Structure 1
């Protein structure tokens, strides 16, 4: 048996990890060229439990437990809590409490701006908003975690006679309903006719399928590249010491502020949650680095204005890096995990929401269940005719 994974994001590494665990003697190869434009190459992430859907909350509890207790992953998390801020009239807080009560979890109480004053000494937080404190939310040192996970995957490839190809995929050559070769950007070819292939390149999935003349999923199931801007902030020593002890702050639908991920770090991160996408172009539109664009500057100014109001203790810190992260998002914001209906040895896995948390389950015959996942993912199969037995 041979397995070839394309992509070393959450889906790709999850597939590689579990394929190797279930079939340790199968030849495993991975094709990937990590990109700073991919959300899997972010530096920090949030692990949370709260969702307004009871089902998603149940899934999140499982993933949260894995982050907290797993021997590999637990060392990359810190339980620091999070302040959630909701706009007036937003029912999300009420909906979350209903879901929590359905699972016999205590409700999250609502506070006024005094919560920000108590934690951050902020006196300018608006009165009209709702403030909630989640004491169990985690910050993940994602950069360290993903690096170690990739090293582990590379070792698995070497140990099974496979290979880690650090290159992008140009096209998938297919014949008689099977991918027969994988052509890399450097024109190297990988024989694949007898292999099981997992195509998990994140927002590049539609681009790879289109370049290979392979049918894309239906429009509502095709991942559209969708981006967010993230800003890395260099703190002064006194600020770093202060914010290492502080919780995450998320203003729902606007911004996430993540303090230093470790007790040694002197940087924090702000992500402005105003997604952008090329809706006028096809889903296979090429992804561009927009970190130096006018849009990036516009969103940065909004993030700075927010910080002046809610976290004035950041005054004097410097933005040292701007990144445009792209993810593949479907119309329903649910992922696609399915065999291609026309290509027998090709499983497509993409379109995850980067800010959510849960386990992944798939009908992929390796019984893939993700530990690594910082996403919520409900199995939604490609719309296709039943496969003949």
Structure 2
């Protein structure tokens, strides 16, 4: 890439797209344009919501080090002062697999002399955090707490990142003119332009695809990603309840994937969610030269996520509340929603060139955990583009074509709850 002559077209204005654009600008590139259906924050994008967990506890040592690097910026940089809130984080389990995952996390934390506190029972957890009134993960509670953790207002963080991009001179195209429907290609596979819903074609020298769960609709991904819907619930609190629950820790039950946040001051919402195997929405990939189906969210631009989650998903949200905050389990959610993950078979990101298109770089595969890396991930993405990553990262984030079907999607060992299933036709109509 020559910063004076190369036109770089980035498709997707979420965490991967915006951080890559900003980092490229910092490295001297001046002809960068970002395309998306909507001006960021994109309302139905997976990078947008009232809260995302920020923590560095990982069973994988590479992600732990990167997450700690990111956490240090979340907690100290002026860019994130208004979007990051420090809050204790609890991970709990009752299962052997959960214990193994937690033990590896704690081993990694200890090797780097990072803090954690063992919690040996639900009674001990409730003594430390009296706001937790339920049975918690029991019987056989096993877990830990890390006080160096917190959450970020994802929408505000993306808006701030967008503003940094604008200040850096990066261009944005949205609406029909920014909605990419396919790529124009030479016989060799080299891409010459991104065709949009308006009928225009945005020309470029290098294209970066950072479209998250929508990626398989634009290029063949060889079963390396799977879009999965995850359920969210938002409960409106009174002023008195806002005060009462402000000490609520971020709590995850490893076994069922349920987690919660402290209340969000501006919206007065208490948010609960599930980090599980999720739901798929099969559709035919226009980019694929095979007859295999892919999973993808709806493609129509939206003003916000649909106020809908499948019935069994809402039931899981309530079951989690009964376990942690039983006094709220019977109350209606003001909103429910589906957030779309871009899962990979191993839970690792994809930062690599597409094997069929020499000038198409893929920055995707967030797998439900990429947002926390926002302050640093652009640096590593651009290093991957320059092929200057350390070998272990290159290997971890390479584009893989060896997976044959959905059975390959085993994840990183952090998922819990029921097996993944397809949305029914009735459920699809409500998304």
TM-score by length of 1: 0.83
Answer whether contact 1:180 1:191 (CA < 8 A) is retained.
yes
> Counterpart in 2 of 1:240?
242
User: Retained in 2: the 8 A contact 1:337–1:382?
Assistant: yes
SS of structure 2 residue aligned to 1:85: strand
Name the counterpart of 1:105: 114
CA distance in 2, matches of 1:298, 1:367: 45
Instruction: Give the structure 1 partner of residue 343 of structure 2.
Output: 329
Equivalent position of 1:354 in the other structure: 368
Does the CA contact (< 8 Å) of 1:240 and 1:265 recur in 2?
Answer: no
Q: Is the 8 A contact 2:248 2:261 kept in 1?
A: no
Looking at structure 2, the residues matched to 155 and 207 of structure 1 have their Cα atoms a distance apart, in angstroms, of 31
What SS is found at the alignment partner of 2:356? coil
State the 1:20 CA deviation.
Answer: 1.2
What residue is the counterpart of 1:170 in the other structure?
Answer: 181
Q: Distance in 2 between matches of 1:132 and 1:267?
A: 26
Q: Secondary structure at the match of 1:230?
A: strand
Candidates 297, 319, 323, aligned match of 1:287: 297
Q: Distance in 2 between matches of 1:317 and 1:46?
A: 24
CA distance 1:150–1:107, shift in 2 (3 Å):
closer
Query: Please, which moves more after superposition, 265-274 or 134-143?
Result: 265-274
Match of 2:33 in 1: 29
CA shift for structure 1 position 292: 6.7
Q: Look up the match of 2:277.
A: 275
Contact 1:229–1:291 (CA under 8 A) maintained in structure 2:
no
In structure 2, what is the equivalent of residue 11 of structure 1? Answer: 16
The residue that corresponds to 2:259 in the other structure is 256
CA RMSD of aligned residues (A): 2.9
Distance in 2 of aligned mates of 1:66 and 1:43: 19
How far 1:31 moved relative to its partner?
0.3
The match for 2:47 is 40
Alignment of 1:91-240 (within 5 A): 91=99, 92-114=101-123, 115-119=125-129, 120=131, 122=133, 124-125=135-136, 126-156=138-168, 159=169, 162-166=171-175, 167-175=178-186, 176-192=188-204, 195-209=205-219, 216-219=220-223, 222-240=224-242
SS at match of 2:184: strand
Question: Contact conserved, 2:282 with 2:296, CA < 8 A, in 1?
Answer: no
2:422 corresponds to which residue?
A: none
| Separation of aligned partners in 2, 1:283 and 1:74 | 43
Deviations 1:202-245 (A, max 9, x none): 01111111xxxxxx2443xx211111011111112211112223
* Residue matched to 2:404: none
* Structure 1 portions without partners, runs of 5+: 210-215, 369-375, 385-389
Task: Name the counterpart of 1:303.
Answer: 317
C-alpha displacement at 1:315, in angstroms? Answer: 5.5
* 1:134-188 CA-partner distances (Å, limit 9, x unpaired): 21111111111112222332444xx36x443343211110114422121112222
Q: CA deviation at 1:316?
A: 6.8
Number of residue pairs aligned between Structure 1 and Structure 2:
362
Q: What does residue 213 of structure 1 align with?
A: none
CA distance in 2, matches of 1:283, 1:324: 21
2:398 paired residue number: 381
Deviation at 1:286, TM superposition (A): 3.9
Indicate the SS of the match to 1:204: helix
Rounded Cα–Cα distance in structure 2 between residues aligned with 1:226 and 1:315: 25
Partner of 1:53: 60
Q: CA separation in 2, counterparts of 1:169 and 1:32?
A: 7
TM-score (norm. length: structure 2): 0.76
Secondary structure (helix, strand or coil) at the match of 1:75 reads coil
Residues 1:365 and 2:386 aligned together: yes
Query: Retained in 2: the 8 A contact 1:337–1:380?
Result: yes
> Are the aligned partners of 2:10 and 2:21 in contact in 1 as well (CA < 8 Å)?
yes
Change (3 A) 1:234 1:206: same
Q: CA deviation at 1:121?
A: 5.1
Contact 2:16 2:210 in 1 (8 A): yes
1:378 to partner: Cα distance:
7.3
